[in-house]
Amino acid sequence: MTTTLALTGSPLWYASRAGGTLALVLLTATVVLGIASGGRVVPRRIGRFEIGLLHRNLSLLTLVFLGMHVVTAVLDPFVRLSWAVSVVPFGASYRPLWLGLGTAALDLLLAVLVTSALRHRLGVRSWKAVHWLAYAAWPLALFHSAGTGTDTRLPLQLWLYAACLATVIAAVWWRLAKAGPGHVAGRLTAAVAATAVPVVLTAFLAAGPLQPGWSQRAALTPVVLIGGGR
Amino acid sequence: MNPANRAKTLRIDRIACTGQGLCGELLPELIDLDEWGYPIVKDRSVPDHLRAHARRAAAACPLLALHLDADRT
């Protein structure tokens, strides 16, 4: 009984929150650089290879902080997560759905990491096909942060989420604006997603995490949403 | 001889290349860029002292269109 209060503020929990937040910021930067460098625009003051290297190095740094986020969350005694939770989504005892989104994002990023390391063997088509999953991982990470982040109610944290969202959306629109003709289906999908994600996130935040009693509802939602999950 | 130590030659997959121009930025000793950013290889054979740079240029290509082949001889 005496341990509960002490463990709520355990250093591992702080490390996990800091690691997760930093991973989100770094992932955002990586995604933005990826979006920006994919087009045909030539940067003026910096070499294209520098953007490519920055993209790669920030992605590896993201995984370092993501590793810290996951390891400290599992080791933290307060939420009692098993190691399986770090790779198998939606099986956690603590907020299964919202934690599972983060696990799914991690799995996607690991697939991107492995295929990038092996890209010269896989060939450009398979590598690129898997690389697109990063675009799915980023919103998953964002909703994971909003849905189960301890700090989601802090104004500063909300501003940080907003800044991450705004940067990626701006990068998508910039890329679409600079793009030449062709790839209509892909560009429409990008435009629709860039419009939908902020709307859905705002509605979700207003209806969920920012309302009183979210911690009880977050623990229950998977039963309703996934239909009989544990 | 170990293939890693053999002389290397540059090969550009012209169908894959979209003229991003990273190879010319990283290996200007051997690769010029034309006005659209497509590479013009000045010298296909890579001297030993440029081997690491050539490897870096091949790794940087976002289309994986630059290859570093080991010579058969």
Q: Which domain holds residue B7?
A: 3-70
Q: What is the pLDDT of residue A216?
A: 79
CB distance from B40 to chain A under 8 Å?
no
Quick: pLDDT tens for A67-99.
999 999 998 887 778 888 888 888 777 888 889
Q: Which domain holds residue A158?
A: 2-227
The answer to whether the CB atoms of B64 and A49 lie below 8 A apart is no
Quick: pLDDT tens for B14-57.
999 999 999 999 999 999 999 988 999 998 999 999 999 999 99
Q: Which residue has the higher pLDDT, A212 or B11?
A: B11
B64 contacts on A by Cβ (under 8 Å): 119-120, 123-124, 127
Name which of B60, B63, B64 is nearest A49 (Cβ-Cβ).
Answer: B60
CB distance from B33 to chain A under 8 Å?
no
CATH number of the domain that B9 lies in?
Answer: 3.30.70.20
Quick: pLDDT tens for A5-22.
444 568 888 999 999 999
Q: What is the pLDDT of residue A105?
A: 96
CB distance from B22 to chain A under 8 Å?
yes
CA A167/CA A156 separation, integer angstroms: 16
Residue in A35, A40, A49 to test binding to B, most B beta-carbons within 10 Å: A49
Our CA-based measurement puts residue A170 at a distance from the nearest CA of chain B, in whole angstroms, of: 23
Whether A210 has a pLDDT exceeding 50, the answer reads: yes
Number of structural domains in chain B? 1
Are B48 and B57 in contact by the 8 Å Cβ rule? The answer is no
C-alpha distance from residue A149 to each of A25, A73, A85, A217, B12 (Å): 14, 12, 16, 14, 48
Band the pLDDT of A213: cuts 50, 70, 90.
confident
Structure tokens that stand for A109 in this block: 């990023």
How far is C-alpha A186 from the geometric centre of its chain's CA atoms?
21
C-alpha distance from residue A58 to each of A26, A27, A32, A62, A104 (Å): 6, 8, 11, 6, 20
Number of structural domains in chain A? 1
Quick: pLDDT tens for A115-162.
999 998 998 999 999 999 999 999 999 999 999 888 888 899 999 999
A77 closest CA partner among A22, A20, A24, A16: A16
